[in-house]
Amino acid sequence: MTDRIITVTLNPAIDVTYRVDALRVGETVRVPEVRSRSGGKGVNVAAVVNALGGTSLALALTTTAAPDEFRSGLEELRITHRLVPALASVRRTVAVVAGDGTTTMLQENGSPACEGAEAAITAALRDELESGAGAVVVSGSVPRGLDPAVPARLARLCARFRVPVITDVSGPALRAAADSGAVLMPNQDELADLTGGGRTVSDLVSGGAPAVVATAGAGGATAMTAHGTWQARPAEVVTGNPTGAGDAAAAALALHLAATRAVDWSAALADVVATSASAVLRPVAGEIDLAARARWIPLTTVKEMR
């Protein structure tokens, strides 16, 4: 089981997707199609890993109440999981997808984590690392009641086990993770925040990040390491629901990190961009269009920057 991908979700969600003809603020809008599933960024990553033929374990906080809709949803999705009860309830997120592809997100903050949540999730991750892992992805927001530095501390735990780890977080959590030894996966806004105050991407790499993979939506992605910088552009611009695109990108990269310690960044970045774009074609986060991904990978333009 050493090739399995462990994902960590500290602030899980029940993801609800409304598909409407048009979103008209201030009016009654009929919803002809509704989909609901267990989610959160790490859960989406685990689902995409499975779709790509990998093996995943979703490690997440969940509710202390019964029944546990989040747990039931993971079982329905057939995602192998290990849950730590530490929340009064699991929040809901609502994606309203209009007929023209415009997506509006409504995100609850969620319940605060109870006392002892960090110790419990850390112990669970340590136990799973001892059982074997190819890579770990820590992603998503940090609930109230937990220190924003928890993702960084979990990343350092992975480093002690010599397991590569990706942190796909934002704000204070991303800044805390900058020197944790994790591969950083910010979007453009998060990268700007991370490099504020005169710090550069080169500083992040020299400070301990094995790589900084900055995603730019339709603009593709850039990977910066101590050995070089690569820039990838998608084969074509697609429209749809971008909600899970970043999670799909993290899943693709995690599989490359698990496969070899000497990552072929040109190949990995092409996969990241194509897999991310293929997620936009699907109506809900955590799903990808496998046929589109396979078609786009060889057509993705990757340049090594000099």
Q: Contact, 26 vs 77, CB < 8 A?
A: no
- Structure-block tokens of residue 173: 């959590």
Task: Please state the rounded mean pLDDT for residues 58-70.
Answer: 96
Return the domain boundaries, the chain: 5-305
| Residues 77-90: b if buried by 16+ CB within 10 A, e if exposed | bebebebbebbebb
> What's the predicted TM-score (pTM) here?
0.92
Task: Please state the rounded mean pLDDT for residues 192-209.
Answer: 88
Q: Angle, to 10 degrees, between the axis of helix 41-51 and the axis of helix 245-259?
A: 60
For the segment 142-151, what is each residue's pLDDT rounded down to a tens digit?
999 999 999 9
Task: Please state the rounded mean pLDDT for residues 40-55.
Answer: 97
Widest pairwise Cα distance in the chain: 56
For the segment 248-284, what is each residue's pLDDT rounded down to a tens digit?
999 999 999 999 888 999 999 999 999 999 999 998 8
Answer yes or no: is pLDDT of 197 > 90.
Answer: no
Answer yes or no: is pLDDT of 76 > 80.
Answer: yes
Q: Give strand ranges (E) for 112-226.
A: 135-139, 165-168, 183-184, 211-215, 221-225
Residue 204 — very low, low, confident or very high, per pLDDT cuts 50/70/90? very high
CATH superfamily for domain 5-305: Ribokinase (3.40.1190.20)
| Residues 197-233: b if buried by 16+ CB within 10 A, e if exposed | eeeebeebbeeebbbbbbbbbeebbbbbbeeebbbbb
pLDDT for the residue 101: 78
Residue 126 — very low, low, confident or very high, per pLDDT cuts 50/70/90? very high
For the segment 31-44, what is each residue's pLDDT rounded down to a tens digit?
999 989 999 999 99
Answer yes or no: is pLDDT of 235 > 60.
Answer: yes
pLDDT for the residue 51: 97
Q: Give whole-number Cα distances, 87 to 54, 118, 119, 211, 216, in Å.
A: 29, 12, 14, 33, 33
d(CA 29, CA 106): 15
Answer yes or no: is pLDDT of 2 > 80.
Answer: no
- For residues 54 and 261, which has the higher predicted lDDT (pLDDT)? 54
For the segment 208-227, what is each residue's pLDDT rounded down to a tens digit?
899 999 999 889 999 999 99
pLDDT for the residue 155: 98
Residue 75 — very low, low, confident or very high, per pLDDT cuts 50/70/90? very high
Answer yes or no: is pLDDT of 1 > 80.
Answer: no
pLDDT for the residue 243: 83
- For residues 55 and 97, which has the higher predicted lDDT (pLDDT)? 55
pLDDT for the residue 279: 95
* Owner of token pair 């993705």: 300
